[in-house]
Amino acid sequence: MRRNAQVFAMVLLLVLSGIPKALALYTPTPFSIDGNLEEWIKADAIAYGRDSGLPGANLDKLYIAWDDNYLYIAIKTNNTQSWDLAYGIGIDVDPGSGNGYTGDSDAWGRKIAFGNNYAIDYEIYFWWSGGSGITADNFINWTGSGWDYKSISDVGGSFAYTGDTSQGLQTLEIAIPWDALGGITRKFAIIAWIAGGDGSSAVDSLPVDDTIVDSDNEWVDQDVFTNLSVIMLSPKNIDGSLDDWADYEKVGSSLPSGYPGADLESLYVSWDSNYLYIAIKTNNTASWDVAYGIGIDVDPGSGNGYTGDTDAWGRKIGFQGFAVDYEIYFWWSGGSGITADNFINWTGSGWDYKSISDVGGSFAYTGDTSQGLQTLEIAIPWDALGGITRKFAIIAWIAGGDGSSAVDTAPSDSEVPPGDSWTDYDKLSNLATTFEFPDLTVEIKGPDVVGVNKLAEYEVHVKNLGGIGVPSTKVRVYINGTLYKNWTVSLGPKEEKVLTFNWTPTQEGMYRINATVDEENTVVELNENNNVATFDVSVVWVGKISVDGDPSDWPEVSLNNNTFTLQNGVFIWSDAPDDQRTEKDPYLPGGTSSHADLIKFGVAKDERYLYFLFVFKNMSNIKIGDNGATFIAVPIDFKEGGATEFAGEMDTKSILEWDIQVVVNLASSQFSGERVATTKAGSSYESLFYVLSADGSFITSDDAMVGVNLDANTVEVRIPLSFIENSDEIRLQLATGFSYGPAVWNFGDPFANDDVSDIVDTISEAGTEEELSDNIPDYYVKLLLGTYLVEGADVINYREERIMMQQQAAVKSFMTISKYYGIPRFKKEYATYLELMNNITNMDIPEEFKEEIIEIRKKVDELFSLYKEGKEVAEEGMMSLADAIKLYRAYTGMIKVNQRLKEIIQAIASGELERQKWLEEMRGKLTKTIDGDLSDWSVDPVAVDTEGYGQDGANLKELYVDYDDNFLYIAFTTDNKASWRIAYGVALDYKEGGYTTGQDGWQRKVEFERGIDAQLYFFWNGEFFGNPGTDSITSADLILWKNGTWEYMQLDKVGFYAYKGGSNGLQSLEIAVPWEVLGGKPEKIAIVVYITGQGAGDSAVDSLPLQDAVKDSDNEWGDVDKFTKFAEVLIK
């Protein structure tokens, strides 16, 4: 069914200041002059009236059209009485020239004159006799010295009208040959009026003129018309300027998109005999790489045209209620403007791609690389569109690159709200049309699962999407083909009526409800294919519980928190409120997780079904379909074997090996936007309700159903006993989460599954946070099932049993490993020890290691004794836990000994000791205390942020540089107010050559105008998309550019640094780098410090000195930045 179709009118809706202008639209076929205005389209209306308050003299609309032979004029009134009146029309064929009649009374002697530099060349007059209709007509030409009176037929014209002696004139249609008007003119001015008899004046006009409302004696005062409508027949000037477009040519407006570089404002349409003209105006304030598209349906309602899911440029854009015949596309490159255009014709089997110039069209635009596209004008020959048509539909949109979708449209379409996704699928239905018809649609709403002998209420929504009302039409409801209900309704333009009916089915089975509107097709509609709605209902047997989301048929019990009862064969658990996990609350609908806070859980049974009740604290913050809505998972174990993972990718294993799992996903697209729903089990992870088997397949049955009532904070589920193979004992667990598509929100890694449980609430005697401290929910419910009820129940804490079993398994495993792994491993390690000691004795051992090696020899003697004691008992088959511990201590101790010996050998062989000695020696040469406190710095900053530029967690303030004979000292401060996960970089240029382009030492998208010889990088481990960090520097590198590549060193191995910071991010950082590490002390050094994102491929977002590059894009975290500004320091 098609949604709203915006009807446009190229009209002047109100009296405007200045001169009203309009473009008369060309008609390819002559009008039938019969008084019937059905041939006229809304776009032909060039003036609208106001209620004159005179029942017999009340003008409504003035229409103008033309072809190569005639000027066509039509008048519509709102008369409700028939009076004796004169209907006049004045035409100035050369407005502004002053040529024509300028006297005080007009051709019929009425007190009507013309001002504002209008001089009338022709008048057309009719006399309406209240008792008989039109009795006289005149076409009157001003000759320069007087009026030349002829009838309309005398000059080759014709007219016709509708009306009667009770309602007065209703419509008047006129055709005047251009020859009678001196030939086709490209511009003329026109006004129509109503006056009385001889010597009277005007009492109403089109366009509305102030002169008709200026006197209490309006029938006989003097009227001077100044507000004629200027009609243009000339083509548009395709130059990118919209100065020759008027408001009445606007066919659609757009809401603010929320995207600075993709924000439509208006769509304009006009045409003449040769071209269709289209114009777009935007509100862009940034220049992005985007596609501008236009879709045209030249025969709306026929169904001819393209109806696929992706459009001609491969964007995820389709159409509903319309079938597009042509698309026009432009690519706007953010750095250069329009770089491609296409005029694309749907051939019936594929798209035919041409440029606009290929089909004889043209376009022009305004805009630049800072503000983006501002205006776009297009002229398309009618020949390229299959010939001229006056009835068509059109829409414009903005999309991104390949595979993207629309983010803004004109007219606005509900599929593309402000801030819409760039990658969803958009089915556009709100095309603007040049004409008005009724468009009737019908929809059925109500439960799709109903119990036998249960009353069900349904709504029939009947809408008129069109712009013309329907005084009477039939609406009927059929159930399995039999008429059940009917109504007669009237619907105004855009009106919707809701009709209700009740139905009580008496037998199980599938039923089909059909609703129809205008079944006889007596109403001519824009779309005749949306008059029937079909709704399938499953009627099922109902036991003790009605599964409708109403908890009133469950027993009311009073329980302490986290306790249960078995009452009348029904199990009820009372869960403590506010014990759910709440860290995601700021990101949830309404800022609360109360909709996933379980407060009551029930299980009931009868001879056919097992029932489940879930009651939550408060679900008023969500609707079905919301991201973050409630997710429920209930794994059920009733036989040997099974699966363990909770559904929804909750990153949690059940302590049960479950055989089936019951799942409710309130973020489902089923019933999206609703608060009440009932439906049967689905066969998709996107279903509102589904049941899984242990092998991951879906178990379906019309008897399995869910009832949701968010207003009652309740979800009810029913499954057939066959799902649990009629078992008389089951064990189950329960978990809630926040729905995200087919799965749940992550509490750990925001982008991947991990070992952090995503459960929000579960059955437990402790709070959920405490219960999930080890990521294992230990409580489960054990139920004994009788024929008609739950006979026994218990809630069991599996933790103690689990821990004891784990301990027993661990001891057994430990003893086995000690015996069968520990003995051979000790032998291996002991042999390695002998080899390592032999190597060491052949080396020049520094003094600091000699004492340690003596202690190692003593330690090995002790370990060997433990090994012998444990080994002897193990070989006799009498090993105890104490003996296993001896073996464990022996082989693990030898592993540690060998590790230390390898480190000593490495230290001796690698010179690490010398490096440590050198570093300590250099520490003694520091002339600054490297502690993150800059109070001992006396130099002025070399760069300061004077603009206040930066972000809460990425805001550099001041950069300092100092030096002495041994060190380069660098320090900087920030204005950070938050701790973000980011990297701080320092780039140094102090000799010829160096890195300039590509990816820098930490693979960031940072380039430099100068050659960079060294970089310093520091990783600040702050918060990242809700994932907290350590609020500290976790790595620091000095990176040197050598021979075209980077050489990496840990900074604390070759220099010194210290910082201050915490929950508000890094506050200050102090660095000392020895000159000898940098290759010597230079004569001068250039420096820039900057902040980038946390990962490779990120770019800079702040710098000192401040660069234009970090301010150039709203995609600043991921673009490429080239630094051109450096602070320079002379080294004396």
- The mean per-residue pLDDT over the stretch 651-675 comes to 95
pLDDT at 39: 82
Name the residue type at position 809: A
Query: Which parts of 1032-1084 fold into alpha helices (H)?
Result: 1051-1054
Q: What pLDDT is stored for residue 16 in this prediction?
A: 29
Amino acid at 266: S
Supply the DSSP symbol for 637: E
What per-residue confidence (pLDDT) applies to 37?
86
In this structure, are residues 916 and 943 in contact, taking their beta carbons and an 8 Å threshold?
no
Question: Pairing between strand 25-26 and 956-963?
Answer: unpaired
Greatest pairwise CA separation for the chain in angstroms: 141
Question: What pLDDT is recorded for position 2?
Answer: 28
pLDDT of amino acid 526: 61
The matching CATH number, chosen from 2.40.128, 1.10.15, 2.60.40, 3.30.870, for 6-232 is 2.60.40
Give the residue with greater pLDDT, 769 vs 471. 769
Residue reference for tokens 């026009």 = 328
Q: What is the pLDDT of residue 640?
A: 93
In degrees, to the nearest 5, what angle opens at C-alpha 477 toward C-alphas 475 and 479?
Answer: 165
Q: How confident is the model at residue 15 (pLDDT cuts 50, 70, 90)?
A: very low
Q: Is 1018 or 539 the better-scoring residue by pLDDT?
A: 1018
> What integer pLDDT is reported at residue 11 of this predicted model?
32
pLDDT for res 4: 33
Confidence (pLDDT) at 653: 93
Q: Decide if 6-232 and 551-797 have a common fold.
A: yes
Buried b (16+ CB within 10 A) or exposed e, 863-876: bbebbeebbebbee
Among residues 206, 191, 170, the alpha carbon closest in space to that of 35 is found at 170
Among 212, 232, 230, CA closest to 221 = 212
Residue-wise pLDDT for 306-335, tens only, equals: 989 999 999 999 999 899 999 999 999 999
Length reported for the chain:
1132
Cα separations in angstroms, 518 against 488, 530, 636: 10, 10, 51
Question: Out of 2.30.29, 2.60.40, 3.20.20, 2.40.50, which CATH number does the structure's domain 551-797 have?
Answer: 2.60.40
Q: How far apart are CA 1104 and CA 972, in angstroms?
A: 9
What predicted TM-score, i.e. pTM, was given to this entire model?
0.40
Summarised one tens digit per residue, pLDDT across range 226-271 is 999 888 776 788 999 998 887 767 888 999 999 999 999 999 998 8
pLDDT band at 187 (very low <50, low <70, confident <90, very high): confident
Can you give the three-state secondary structure of 301-349, one letter per residue?
CCCCCECCCCCCCCCCEEECCCCECEEEEEEEECCCEEEEEEEEEECCC
Q: Which residue has the higher pLDDT, 451 or 991?
A: 991
Task: Give all strands (DSSP E) within 903-1053, no chain letters.
Answer: 943-944, 956-963, 967-974, 982-989, 1006-1008, 1014-1020, 1033-1042, 1045-1050
The residue-averaged pLDDT of 379-402 equals 92
Beta bridge partners of 816: none
Q: Across all residues in the chain, what is the average pLDDT?
A: 90
For the cut 80, the answer to whether the pLDDT of residue 17 exceeds it is no
pLDDT at position 1021 over 50:
yes
Could you tell me if 9 and 43 are in contact, meaning their C-beta atoms sit under 8 angstroms apart?
yes
> What is the DSSP secondary structure assignment for residue 408, as one 8-state letter?
E
The answer to whether residue 282 scores a pLDDT higher than 60 is: yes
- Please identify which residue in the block is written with the tokens 């609406």: 475
How far apart, in whole angstroms, are the C-alpha atoms of residue 841 and residue 819? 33
Q: Token digits for 684?
A: 């998709």
For the chain, what are the domain ranges? 6-232, 247-433, 440-540, 551-797, 803-910, 921-1130
- Residue 77 region, left (φ>0) first, then alpha (ψ -120 to 50), else beta? beta
Residue 1109, token pair as written in the block: 């590059």
995: three-class secondary structure by DSSP: strand
Task: Name which of 605, 612, 610 is nearest 789 in CA terms.
Answer: 605
CA atoms within 13 A on the CB side of 866: 22
Query: Which position has the token pair 């028939």?
Result: 82
224: nearest Cα among 98, 101, 115, 124: 115
Question: What's the average model confidence in pLDDT over 617-643?
Answer: 96
73/788: higher pLDDT = 73
* Residue 153, Cβ density class (10 Å: 0-12 exposed, 13-18 middle, ≥19 buried): exposed
CATH topology of domain 921-1130: Immunoglobulin-like (2.60.40)
- At the top level of CATH, the class of 247-433 is mainly beta
Residue type, 751: F
Cβ atoms of 724 and 610 within 8 Å: the answer is yes
Per-residue pLDDT tens digits for 547-588: 999 999 999 999 999 999 999 889 999 999 999 999 999 999
What is the distance between the alpha carbons of residues 994 and 1075, in angstroms, rounded to a whole number?
17
Q: 440-540: which CATH architecture?
A: Sandwich (2.60)
- Give the pairing type, strands 326-333 and 337-346: antiparallel
CB atoms within 10 A of CB 104: 10
User: Angle at which helices 847-875 and 823-841 pack, to 10 degrees?
Assistant: 160
Residues 470-498, mean pLDDT to the nearest whole number: 92
State the Cα–Cα distance between residues 21 and 236, nearest whole angstrom.
14
From CA 633, how far away is CA 762, in angstroms rounded?
Answer: 10
Q: What is the 3-state secondary structure (H, E, C) of 75-89?
A: EEECCCCCCCEEEEE
What's at 197, amino acid-wise?
Answer: G
Residues sharing a CB contact under 8 Å with residue 977, sequence separation 6 or more, in sequence order: 952, 953, 955, 1064, 1065
